[in-house]
């Protein structure tokens, strides 16, 4: 089977690259063609969208321009009426004044009045629809605006809106000499603009009026003619609606759209400027309402038909796509042929290298087999020696601390021994002075037993510390920390070092208790020694334990000024110490780091805080 595999490999070296090249070429070519097609369709859609947006903008511009024209012409109606009335009334005023001045003192007043009335009665305008009227300040009609009101007092006359319009005319003339008013003077006649002017004789005033509705009808006729003459593109259409009824539909609009579509447009007309896309299939149209004339202007276009420029652009894009596809196919074919030839040439060289490689592999395999025969035993021996070394170092570290422990025991026992001495002295004195009673003796014996029990517990604590851990146990780290501090309590008190314990959360964990105590004692002792050596005022050690997510963190911090940055990376090295040889072995921090990181799967690190060094245990 192995012989067959070795024979197949050279063929695979030739066939596999060719197959990979052909496969890769196929997928790359397909991918690129899809990308080019997608790009073409995207550009085409963008071109159509650009065409539509351009036509929409043009349509809006046309509608806005026509609305501006409507607005301009409509706003001129009232102004034109006032100009015409002013010219009319001024001419009548000049004629009346001319007659008056010519015949004053030559003819009687009633003859002069008759001549003035006859002259102004001849002045008619707008196919005799507009004329000059005369009245006096008492409301009497001299030359009436209607035969029904001739030679009557019309001061109490009210127009359609209930206004005393004649009195308003008299008041306007008296105060201002002349002025314009607006009134619906007759029922059904619509709004009229009136100009009145003081004639400055006989307490008369003259005036004339024009019907605004008639003028607006004439304006509509004029504007409709302008709309009909607006030039449009071949695909555009336009319509004008008065009160939703068509008054003008362009030829293209009648040709493109049937009665049903025109009915849809008329039905959907809105007083808000609106674009309509979905109401008519294949068409966009825009409508805008012109309120003064109650007109709706519609302008639209056919979406599918494009300008020659746009069609030319589409044709050019199609030609570019065809050229790209031809180039991709030719390039892919050339690459496949080139890679096939190169693969055949390289395969021969690879086969030669492969043969040499097989010989080299066989040689190396034989050497490895010989090496493996002894490797397992060597690894086992190395691990065993390393573990033995760790145990020796731990024990050596404990033995090195034995002197400190004995000192701590002495500190712990000194006070109770002194109290025992005072106790015996008290009993002896009581006996000598015959004051020793059974109750007094029992009390002193009880105090002595309490002191002996304290000394026994102290010995048990130190004995348990030196007993090696066999199994991990679940403990509260805050309790272990408290035990560690209690072992050094007297030593810390003698040195004047204050210890502050802080615990947050439930700090239950699974550890080797005595090994953790050893680490805590090392850290506390190092902090105490630094504080004493540097003679720090108010020396203080803060021990904090807390839980953070899945981690248990214990920090031992002091106010001794911190660790020198130059030796910060070396303090965990074995046999490195800042103390003299008699005071330190250099194993304390090294063993502490090894216990935390190798035995307890944690991490021990050091950093400088504001006041001093801070050792951090993470488990």
User: Which three-class secondary structure string do you get for 416-455?
Assistant: HHHHHHHHHHHHHHHHHCCCCCHHHHHHHHHHHHHHHHHH
Torsion of CA 101, 105, 106, 110, to 10 degrees: 80
Residue 514 above 90 pLDDT? no
pLDDT, residue 342, reads: 74
How many distinct structural domains can be found in the chain?
3
Q: Answer for the pair 466, 395: CB distance below 8 angstroms, yes or no.
A: no
Please tell me the distance from the alpha carbon of residue 399 to that of residue 246, in angstroms, as a whole number: 114
- Same structural domain for residues 142 and 248? no
Residues 223 and 264 in one domain: no
Last residue of a domain, one of 262, 281, 306: 306
Q: What is the pLDDT of residues 532-566, one digit of tens each?
A: 999 999 999 999 998 887 788 999 999 998 998 88
| 566 located within any domain | yes
State the Cα–Cα distance between residues 535 and 579, nearest whole angstrom: 15
pLDDT: which is higher, 201 or 232: 201
**pLDDT band at 304; cut points 50, 70, 90:** low
Residues 137 and 90 in one domain: yes
- CA 292 to each of CA 67, 71, 77, 78, 231: distance values in angstroms, whole numbers, following the listed order: 11, 8, 12, 13, 25
Q: Do the domain assignments include residue 349?
A: no
Residue with tokens 């026992």: 413
What is the extent of the structural domain holding 287? 231-306
Q: What pLDDT, in 10s, does the model give residues 383-430?
A: 777 667 666 666 666 565 566 566 656 655 765 787 688 788 888 888
Looking at 230, 247, 276, the residue that finishes a domain is: 230
pLDDT band for position 3 (50/70/90)? Answer: very low
Is residue 483 within 8 Å of 461, Cβ to Cβ? yes
Q: What pLDDT is stored for residue 2 in this prediction? A: 46
Give the containing element (helix H, strand E) for 612. Answer: none
Same domain as 112, residue 53 = yes
Look at residue 404 and tell me if it is in a domain: no
Domain of 530, CATH number, reads 3.30.565.10
Looking at residue 464, its pLDDT comes to 62
The helix/strand/coil state of 247 is: strand
387 falls within a domain: no
- 207's enclosing H/E stretch is strand 204-211
pLDDT at 115 over 60: yes
Give the CATH number for residue 138.
3.30.450.20
3-class DSSP state of 615: strand
For residue range 137-167, what is the model confidence (pLDDT) as tens digits?
998 888 876 655 555 788 888 888 888 988 9
Which helix or strand (DSSP H or E) is residue 406 part of? helix 402-432
- Distance (Å, whole) CA 14 – CA 351: 9
300 and 215: one domain? no
Is pLDDT of 517 > 80? Answer: yes
- CA-nearest of 132, 146, 151 to 205 is 132
- Measured on CA atoms in the order 69, 73, 76, 80, is the torsion positive or negative? positive
Asked if residue 524 lies in contact with residue 556, where contact means CB atoms within 8 angstroms, the answer is yes
pLDDT value, residue 454:
64
Report pLDDT digits (tens) over 74-95: 878 888 888 989 998 999 999 9
Would residue 281 count as lying in a domain?
A: yes
Does residue 168 share a domain with residue 57? yes
Angle among Cα 101, 107, 111 to the nearest 5 degrees reads: 95
The larger pLDDT score, comparing residue 368 to residue 287, is at 287
Mark whether 73 and 196 lie in a shared domain.
yes
CA distance 618 to 612: 20
Quick one: tokens of 191? 């709004």
Compute the distance between CA of residue 528 and CA of residue 299 in angstroms, rounded to an integer. Answer: 95
What is the phi-psi region of residue 372: left when phi exceeds 0, alpha when psi lies from -120 to 50, beta otherwise? alpha
Q: What is the mean pLDDT of residues 474-492?
A: 85
pLDDT digits (tens, 9 = 90+) for 97-106: 999 999 988 8
Contact 497, 485 (CB under 8 A): no
On average, the pLDDT of the chain sits at 80
Which 8-state DSSP code applies to residue 296? E
The answer to whether the CB of 254 falls within 8 A of the CB of 247 is no
Q: Is residue 110 part of a domain?
A: yes
Question: Sheet of 613-618: strands edge to edge?
Answer: 498-504, 540-548, 551-558, 613-618, 603-608
Angle between helical axes of 402-432 and 438-466 (0-180°, round to 10) = 170
Q: What is the mean pLDDT of residues 590-600?
A: 84
- Quickly state the pLDDT bin for 258 (edges 50, 70, 90): confident
User: Would you say residue 299 lies in a domain?
Assistant: yes
Looking at per-residue pLDDT, the higher value among 278 and 574 belongs to: 574
Residues 253 and 194 in one domain: no
Q: Which of 245, 273, 306 is the last residue of a domain?
A: 306
Q: Most confidently modeled of 27-41, 119-133, 174-188, 406-420?
A: 174-188
Residue 145 domain flag: yes
Residues 6+ apart with CB under 8 A from 277: 284
Q: What is the mean pLDDT of residues 29-54?
A: 73
What CATH number has the domain bearing residue 239? 3.40.1840
Same domain for 179 and 299?
Answer: no
Judgement on whether residues 524 and 600 belong to the same structural domain of the protein = yes
Same-domain pairing of 226 and 241: no
189 vs 165: CA distance, rounded Å: 15
Residue entry with tokens 């272990």: 480
Mean pLDDT of 430-450: 86
- Whether 192 and 241 map to the same domain: the answer is no
């Amino acid at each position: 089977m192995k012989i067959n595999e070795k024979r197949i490999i050279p063929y695979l070296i030739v066939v596999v690259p060719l197959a990979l090249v052909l496969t890769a070429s196929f997928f790359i070519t397909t991918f690129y063609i899809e990308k080019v097609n997608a790009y073409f369709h995207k550009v085409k859609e963008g071109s159509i969208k650009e065409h539509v947006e351009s036509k929409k903008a043009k349509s809006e511009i046309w509608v806005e321009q026509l609305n501006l024209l409507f607005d301009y012409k409509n706003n001129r109606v009232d102004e034109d009426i006032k100009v015409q009335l002013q010219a009319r009334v001024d001419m009548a005023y000049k004629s009346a004044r001319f007659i008056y001045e010519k015949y004053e003192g030559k003819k009687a007043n009633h003859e002069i009045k008759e001549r003035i009335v006859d002259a102004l009665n001849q002045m008619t305008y707008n196919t005799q629809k507009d004329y000059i009227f005369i009245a006096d300040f008492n409301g009497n009609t001299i030359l009436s605006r209607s035969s029904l009101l001739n030679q009557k007092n019309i001061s109490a006359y009210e127009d359609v809106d209930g206004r005393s319009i004649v009195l308003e005319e008299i008041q306007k003339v008296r105060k201002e000499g002349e002025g314009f008013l607006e009134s619906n003077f007759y029922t059904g006649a619509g709004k009229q603009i009136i100009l009145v002017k003081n004639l400055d004789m006989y307490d008369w005033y003259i005036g004339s009026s024009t019907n605004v509705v008639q003028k607006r009808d004439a304006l509509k006729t004029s504007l409709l003619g302008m709309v009909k003459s607006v030039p449009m593109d071949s695909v555009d259409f336009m319509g004008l609606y008065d009160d939703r009824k068509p008054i003008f539909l362009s030829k293209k609009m009648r040709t493109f759209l049937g009665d049903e579509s025109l009915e849809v447009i008329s039905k959907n007309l809105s007083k808000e400027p609106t674009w309509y896309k979905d109401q008519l299939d294949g068409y966009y149209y825009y409508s805008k309402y012109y309120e003064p004339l109650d007109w709706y202007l519609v302008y639209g276009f056919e979406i599918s038909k494009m300008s020659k420029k746009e069609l030319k652009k589409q044709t050019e894009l199609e030609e570019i796509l065809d050229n790209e596809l031809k180039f991709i196919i030719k390039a892919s074919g050339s690459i496949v042929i080139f890679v096939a030839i190169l693969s055949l040439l390289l395969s021969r060289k690879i086969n030669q290298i492969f043969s040499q490689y097989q010989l080299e592999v066989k040689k190396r395999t034989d050497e490895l087999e010989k090496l493996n025969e002894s490797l397992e035993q060597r690894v086992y021996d190395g691990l065993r020696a390393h573990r033995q070394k760790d145990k020796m170092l731990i024990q050596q570290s404990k033995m090195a601390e034995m002197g400190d422990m004995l000192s701590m025991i002495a500190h712990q026992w000194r006070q109770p021994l002194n109290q025992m001495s005072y106790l015996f002295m008290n009993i002896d004195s009581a006996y000598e002075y015959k004051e020793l009673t059974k109750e007094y003796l029992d009390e002193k014996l009880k105090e002595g037993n309490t002191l002996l029990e304290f000394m026994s517990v102290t010995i048990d604590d130190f004995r348990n510390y030196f007993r090696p851990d066999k199994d991990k146990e679940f403990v509260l780290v805050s309790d272990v920390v408290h035990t560690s501090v209690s072992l050094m309590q007297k030593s810390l008190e003698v040195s004047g070092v204050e210890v502050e314990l802080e615990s947050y959360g439930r700090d239950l964990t699974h550890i080797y208790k005595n090994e953790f105590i050893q680490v805590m004692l090392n850290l506390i002792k190092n902090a105490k020694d630094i504080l004493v050596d540097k003679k720090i005022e108010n020396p203080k050690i803060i021990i904090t334990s807390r839980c953070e997510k899945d981690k248990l963190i214990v920090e031992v911090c002091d106010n001794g000024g911190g660790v020198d940055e130059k030796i910060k990376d070396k303090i965990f090295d074995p046999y490195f110490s800042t103390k003299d040889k008699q005071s330190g072995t250099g194993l304390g921090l090294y063993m502490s780091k090894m216990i935390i990181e190798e035995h307890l799967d944690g991490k021990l690190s050091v950093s400088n805080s504001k006041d001093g060094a801070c050792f951090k245990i993470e488990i």
